[in-house]
Structure 1
C-alpha cells in the first residue's frame, strides 16, 4: 500500500476539500476504504449501510483520524432510505457533491434453471434498483448546485461474464449501461457519471464469487486469469473512486473504469 493509504494527507494535497460524499455499503470492504480515503482527502462523508452498527464503527474511525463523517442505516432498495441518506448529507454538511453507489450483493454459482425468482429479484433490487434510487434522490440537489459526481460499483462480470453468475452479471451489465445513459442525460448540468469495474476483490463477498468449495483452490484458478496476478484490494477501488470523484477527472464521464489487473484485456 502506498503512503497515501496509511498516513494523513496534508491540506494542500487534499483532493476533495470542501466536498460532501454519500457512500453506500460503507461499513466494510470497498465502501469503508473509500469512506476513509475520501475523508483523508477533505470530504465530509455520509457512511450509509444496512449494517447500522458497522456504519457507526466506520464513522468513529474516520472521526478519530480527524475527519468528518456521519452514519446512517439505509436499505438501498427503499425509496425513503435513498432520500434519507441524501437529505442527511444536505442537513449535516450543506450539500451533496459525490454519490458513490457501492452497495451490492453477490450470488453463488447457480445454473440458470435453478435460480429462484426471489433470489434473482433480490440481486436486481440491490444492485440495480439501489443505484437508480440513489441517483434519483441525489440528482435534483446536484442540478441546483450546478454539478456533482455520481459513481457506482459495477464489475468486470458486466463485461466479461462467468458461467453460473447469471443474475449477478446481468445486474452489473445494467449498472454499466445505466451509467452511460445518465452520463449523457446529466452532462448539461455538469454532473459526471462513471462506474468502476473491479476484478474479484478481497472483501466479505469473495467466497460466493469464487464459487464455494476450496477457497484457496478457487483463488488460485481465478488468479490465473488475471495478468497482474493478484486480486483487488479495497484500497485499489478506493483510489480509483477518489480520482473519479476529484476535479482531476473533470473531463471524464460515461466511463466504466476497469480496476482488474488486465483481466478484461
Structure 2
C-alpha cells in the first residue's frame, strides 16, 4: 500500500524509530496520526510543524484499553478515515534474570509490547476493513525469534507479537487489509533510558555489529509496508541471526548469549 494520501497511525511516535516514521511518512505525502504516551510530544510537534493539518498528535497509554478504544473516533474526526497503522511502541525490561525480575515489571513489558499492539489492532481493524486498501505493520524484534539473556520477558512479549501478526496475516489474507511483520535487530535509539532499564557496560566494550540508525530502520519499515511484505528483517544482525537460527537454534542462542548476554 503506497502511503501517499493515506492516513497512517503511528504508535511510539515521541522519539526514536517512531518519530522518524512520522517524519518520513509526512515527506512521502501521507497524513499521520502520531500516538504518544508521555514523552516527546512537544518535540514531535515542533519537527512536524511544516506539515500543518497533515499531522495530528494523540496522547494515549497503550496499556489502557479504554484509552486505545477512543483513538479511532478521535483520529477519524481529524483526518476523515484511517488507512494504515504501524504499531511501533515498545519497551524493554531491566537487564536482569527472570528470577530477579518482579511481576510488576513483567506485566508492564507484556502489557505495552503485546497487549498494546493487540488493543490497537482490535480498535482499528473494523475501520481498516471498510477501506478500499489498508495495512497493518507490527514491530516485533530479533528477540522475537532469538533468546537474549536478561531480556527473557521482552523476548517473550515480542515472540507473542510475532505469532499474533503472522496469525492476523493468515486471517486477513483474502481481505483488503495487508499485514507486515517487522523484526529489527539492534537500532540506536533511547529505548533503554525510556524503559527505565539500566545496563552497565565495561569501558571500551562495543557492539560486534553496526547498529541501524532510527532513520534507516524507518526507511526499511515503510518500504516493507508499501511493498506489502510478509516479513521484514531490519538490519544485518537480524538477517544473519535469522539464518543461523533456522539451521542451528542452539548455536544461535549460544552466540547471542556470548555476544550480548554478558554485562
TM-score (normalizing by structure 2): 0.84
8 Å CA contact retained: 2:93, 2:106: no
Q: Write the deviation string for residues 170-212 of structure 1: whole angstroms up to 9, x where unpaired.
A: 0001111001000011122221111211112111124679961
Match of 2:94 among 95, 103, 108: 108
Pair 1:182–1:111, CA change in 2 (3 A): same
TM-score (normalizing by structure 1): 0.83
**RMSD value over aligned CA atoms?**
2.1
Instruction: Give, in whole Å, the separation in 2 of the partners of 1:193 and 1:209.
Output: 31
Q: Is it true that 1:134 corresponds to 2:117 in the alignment?
A: no
8 Å CA contact retained: 1:101, 1:153: yes
Gapped regions of structure 1 (runs ≥ 5): 1-14
Structure-1 residue corresponding to 2:24: 37
Structure-2 residue corresponding to 1:28: 15
Q: Is it true that 1:17 corresponds to 2:8 in the alignment?
A: no
Q: Is it true that 1:50 corresponds to 2:30 in the alignment?
A: no
Pair 1:112–1:148, CA change in 2 (3 A): same
Pair 1:199–1:67, CA change in 2 (3 A): farther
Gapped regions of structure 2 (runs ≥ 5): 244-263
Instruction: Give, in whole Å, the separation in 2 of the partners of 1:77 and 1:196.
Output: 21
Secondary structure of the residue aligned to 2:112 is: helix
Instruction: Give, in whole Å, the separation in 1 of the partners of 2:21 and 2:142.
Output: 19
Q: How does 1:53-202 map to 2 (within 5 A)?
A: 54-64=40-50, 68-202=54-188
Aligned length: 238
Q: Is it true that 1:236 corresponds to 2:216 in the alignment?
A: yes
Instruction: Give, in whole Å, the separation in 2 of the partners of 1:47 and 1:19.
Output: 14
Instruction: Give, in whole Å, the separation in 2 of the partners of 1:34 and 1:216.
Output: 33
